[in-house]
Structures are given as C-alpha cells and as structure tokens.
A and B are shown apart, each in its own frame.
Chain A
Amino acid sequence: MKKIFLLIITVCFLNANAEVHKGQTYYYYLLKDSLGYNGLIFAKQYSDKQWIQLFEHDAKELKNTLQKENKNLKTFLNSKKFDEIRPHLKAFVIKFASNKKNAPQCIE
C-alpha cells in the first residue's frame, strides 16, 4: 500500500510540469528514427513502475538500455537537449506503459 502511495505521489510530482503530448512529439522527432519503432511500441515495453526506475538517477538505466539498441544515441542521450525533454518523455511513456489501458482512439 505504501509503495503504491509513493508511486502515485512520484508520478504526480514528476508530471506536474511535464506534458504527455510533448513527450510523444519529442520521441517522434528525436528518437523514433534511431530506434526504429513508434512511440506506442516504445512505451509498451515496460510497466509504469519499470519506467520510473529507468528514469531514476538522471535516467542512467534508460540511457544504457537505449545505447545498447543504437550506440549512435550516446551523444544525444548525454546532451542538454535530452535533459530538457526527459520529463515529457517520462510522462508520455508512463501514460502508455504496458500496464495502462489507455486506448488510442480511432486507429487508422
């Protein structure tokens, strides 16, 4: 129960200024081509708890994981730009995480 409470508080705090749709945009323009799959597939790789862990300590674990997929991402992942987009990216992936039932509308 305490863990769930802390998870909710963490998500709320970190999402206070982060915007999901910005995270989606940043993923589309800055990561999609390097990783080769769309934002929804990216988000569905992990649960919300797992994403929070990946983003801890300046997203250290996430950076390692993504660099394994494409080592050319190293420079970008350690740039100020990535730091700028990180809260929005986090908000986006948490919203569409594997354990979330957010249903995209009207798939075409």
Chain B
Amino acid sequence: MLRRNFFKVSAATAALLQTSNLLASSNKKTKTQNKAIKTTVAICGGGFAGLSAAKFLKELNPSLDVTLIEKRNSFMSCPLSNGWLGEVKGITYESLNFDYNSAVNKYGYNFINEAIIDINRDGKTIYTANNVIKYDYMIMAPGIDYNYKKLFQNDTKKAKESLLKAPPGLKPGSEHLALKRMIKNFKGGNFVLTIPHEAYKCPPAPYERACMIANYFKKNDIQGKVIIIDPRIKPGAKPKQFIKAFKEFYPNIIEYRNLTNFKDVDFNKKMISVEFFDKKEMTYKTQDILFEEASIIPPNKANNLINIAKIDTYTQGWVKLRQPTFRTLSDEDVYVIGDAQGEYPFPKSGQMANSCAYIVALELTQRLKGKSFDYKNNMPGNVCYSMVTDKKSVSITHSYTFTNKVNVSSVTSKIDKITAQSSKTWYTGLTSDIFGL
C-alpha cells in the first residue's frame, strides 16, 4: 500500500481511537475482517526503542516497508519527567510530550495508531481493532508492566487502589500527572517512595524523584519528609553520588531507609508496613510508617504483549534472547528491544533503548541482504543523567564488550551544573532525532 494512503487510513483510525480501544477491550478476541496489510518489519510499541528502530531502519534502507504500531496517540517522555515534577526551570509538560506525526512524515514509515489485541507468530500476523498486519519480521518494544501480584498476591482491589493512590510513575502519562498533583497539593508530612528489590525500569528514577520532590519542598518551604524505602544496601544506581546528594542538599528532608522492604499498605490508615534490617541485632524487624502521600513501585515485568505473542521469559518476566543477538529464543524472526529484554545487564533507559534499536536495525538490514552481522563487535552504549537539584545533575556512562558473556565498564561524573546542561542537550538531541524535528 502507498505510504501516504496508509497514513491517511491510520489517521482516520486514530480519530476514532477512544471508541476503537473500548471495543478492543470489550471484544478482546474480535478480529477485523479487513484485508490484511503486508509489511516487511512490524514494530510493536512507539516508545524510545520502537521509534528509534523505525527511524534507523528507514535511514539504512529508505525503500524498506516498516510499520510502527502504537496505541497511545501522543508520546510522553519519562526521561526528564522527574525534573518536571520538581518544577525545574525549562522542563515543561510541553517539552515532555510529542506527536507522532513529525516522525512519520520525516522518516516515511507506516503508522497504525491502535492497540494490539492479538499476535499470531505462526501466521506472522498482528491484529488490532481495525487492522490485520502481516509481517516478515517483528520488533517488539512494548515496555514494562507492573507485577502487583508480587506485592498483594490475589488482592486485586488493593492493587488497583495502590495504582490510583500511590502511582509508581514508571509508565508515562496519567501516573506522572497524578504525582504532579500530589506534590503541588502537599502540605506537610511524609512522602514515601518504595522501590522493589528486583530489576525495574530506570534504576536511578526513584532516587532522582526523591531529590526533585525534596527540592520542591525546600523551595516552597513545605515541612515535608521524603522517605525512600529501599531493599538494597545502597542505591541501585549512582550510589555514592545519590547518598552524597541526600546528605549535602537535603539533610533534613530525605530519609534514605536502606535494607528496608515494603510489606503492605493501608490506605485508610495511610500507613505503610515495612521490614528493616537491624544491624545491631542482625535481624529483620517490622515497622509501620505513616504517610500523607506515597509512590509505591511494584516489581516490574515485560509488557503483557510479550505473553500475547507467547514469547518465552525468565521467571521475573523479562524476555529470553539468543545471545549475543536481540532475537528471541522463541522465534528467530522476532526481536525484543528496550525495557522488556532480560537477557543482558543493560539498564532499562531511553539511551539504551535507542542504542539497541540501532544495532537491531543494522542486523536486520544486513539479514535482508542475506549477509551476516557481527554482534560481538557492535555492542550498545549508554548514558544516563539524574538531576539532584534544579541546577545540578550526575551522569553515568556504560560501555560493553562481549567475550563469552557481556562485560560492562562504567564512569560516573561529578555532581555539577555542566552535567545538568549536558542532560538537557542529550534529551533535546535524542528527541529531535527520533521525532524528526
């Protein structure tokens, strides 16, 4: 199908998105009788990974038929969102949000703005409410889901309540808006942030968020405390720098509770129950902490689209890949990039998503020509910035090599204003690139 006609069809579909999504959720198994659309590469998910993959594929091979499928009708960035929560100058809601039109127009890939309701890998077919897409290769970049069952077992009522009243803020959109409202309306007391003990999206996010909330309290003279509940011995990212930042900039505001595990929450009593490690008695003890507001991050796992596609995962719920590639163990024609992969010790970050997307685009382009690709000498790289005050940031860069496994080395910056400026430059550069601005 011609690209322009295809985009017109998809734009019309996007205008009916609300209705079609309702229909999709109420008639999960209903599949359109529309004629199938044929594409060479289908990309599931329009986040940093999916958008990067679409862009790179079209740049490497402009004639390649690429189709991006995304249910949201606009993009909101998680990187820099904590700065927005903390009212850092220059980070506005508008600067975090993008339309997909510019990217589609610039790079010329097909765009289906609908939710995926089914994937049949045997038939190489993806189903949305109004489209059937047949592919040769599929790149899945669906992101994460929350695993509330690991926190609350079968108490689905409490899980829903926790998502609404203590939003984790790792999935872009309404959770961040809710957190913003909670921070702006905060009058005093404890703002509790809880971190899961297994891998989760964006390792520094909770620590950066604590700094930004504390910064907001400080600037607005709010008598509040930010309590971080962390099962780890030290912060899971940039540990020395965050501990330094907590002590130097927020000594009476941030309380970092390491070796402390979230156990339960009572929203009526506004109380979180924890288990903490008593170093004198070398044993775990329980404690209840009252809160005014909270953000409870449950354990994460790969987005449910991975299960719909019947792709194998590890026990925590991250996707298994064939080393050293990004091809799934379940299907050589299906790639997984971004936060959903669990094969390599790559941080679940925007830059890593972009970097891995480039490698997959290179590999797939070569594969389509019948050529091999040297993954071991094409490893991704990462940079990750975290704001600690409204003017200062810290960064870490990761580089990787592959012997019989992935080896990583990293360099962490100082906390300074130059790094804060670099973080904004990095963000502008990446988003301008993938959105074709």
Contacts and interface: CB of A to CB of B under 8 A. Distances in A.
B284 interface: yes
B345 A103 contact: yes
A108 B344 contact: no
Interface residues of chain B: helix, strand, loop or mixed (majority): loop
B239 A102 contact: no
Contacts of B282: 26, 29-30, 81
Interface in B264-288: 277, 279, 282-284
Contacts of B398: 106
A29 B279 CA distance: 8
Given A22-B284, A101-B314, A106 B347 contact: yes
B436 interface: no
A56 interface: no
Contacts of B316: 102
Contacts of A102: 314, 316
B343 A106 contact: no
Nearest to A102: B314
Q: How large is the interface on B (under 10, 10 to 19, 20 to 34, 35 or more residues)?
A: 20 to 34
A25 B259 contact: yes
Classify chain A: how many residues form its interface, as a range: 10 to 19
A25 B233 contact: yes
Interface in A50-108: 81, 84, 101-108
B321 to A, nearest CB: 10
B216 to A, nearest CB: 26
B231 A21 contact: yes
Contacts, number: 48
Contacts of B345: 103-107
A105 B197 contact: no
Nearest to A22: B284
Interface in B171-209: 197, 199, 203
Contacts of A84: 283
Contact of A21 (B203, B261, B314): B261
Nearest to B352: A106
A105 B412 contact: no
A106 B386 CA distance: 14
Contact of B237 (A26, A103, A108): A108
Nearest to A30: B282
Given A29-B279, A101-B343, A106 B284 contact: no
B17 interface: no
A25 B276 CA distance: 11
A107 to B, nearest CB: 5
Contact of A107 (B231, B314, B410): B410
A23 B79 CA distance: 33
Interface string B316-328: 1000000000000
Interface in B21-75: none
Given A21-B231, A101-B343, A108 B259 contact: no
B199 A21 contact: no
Contact of B396 (A25, A101, A103, A108): A108
A37 B2 CA distance: 61
Interface of A: 19-22, 25-26, 28-30, 81, 84, 101-108
Given A29-B277, A105-B345, 10 more contacts: A19-B261, A30-B282, A81-B282, A102-B314, A103-B344, A105-B203, A105-B236, A107-B408, A108-B239, A108-B396
Interface of B: 197, 199, 203, 231, 233, 236-239, 259, 261, 277, 279, 282-284, 314, 316, 342-345, 347-348, 396, 398, 408, 410, 412
